[in-house]
Amino acid sequence: MTTDIPAPSPVGALGQPWEVFVERGKIREFAAAMQSGNPAYQGADAVIPPTFLINAVQWAPPGVRVAVGFERKRLLHGEQEYIFHGDLPRAGDKLIAQERVLDRYAKPGKRGGEMKFAVVATEFRSPNGELIAEARATFIETAPRAKSAQEATK
């Protein structure tokens, strides 16, 4: 079985921008999924819950995101951080999202082999270019499973 893993985007690489429309109904659904009754997440002027921006990747058209270049079956989502540079986005806002590779590194795995890491920031800007928020994610590719002596002789 052949898996087509895209070549990893290098540190500093930028994906293509895409539009994210902050919809009142989606804010309400997200708040309900979090089991939050916070009134700030309701109504025509609702603000987003801080982790709402994780949804932005659902609206990314094919081919606009950076490539971490990791094998999906060994991929872990390590760390996630949200940074807001002002007020939380509200229902009706339009944001322009764009990913950037911030860092790549490797560490020895606790069970042998090498673990690879990629840190990716998604910047969210207003239509006039003002930085509104950032979502920083650390992706991890675990070391390949070591072959047993029986598998190695096949």
**Residues 53-66: tens digit of each pLDDT:** 998 888 899 999 99
Q: What is the pTM of this model?
A: 0.86
Q: What is the mean pLDDT of residues 72-100?
A: 95
Q: Is residue 130 part of a domain?
A: yes
**Residue 42 domain-assigned (yes or no):** yes
| Domain CATH for 130 | 3.10.129.10
Domain-embedded: residue 120: yes
Domain count, the chain: 1
Residue 11 maps to a domain: no
pLDDT of residue 146: 67
Q: Give the domain extent around 103.
A: 18-152
Q: Is residue 12 part of a domain?
A: no
Sign of the alpha-carbon torsion through 54, 56, 62, 68? negative
Whether residue 10 lies inside any domain: the answer is: no
**Model confidence pLDDT, tens digit, residues 122-140:** 999 999 999 999 999 999 9
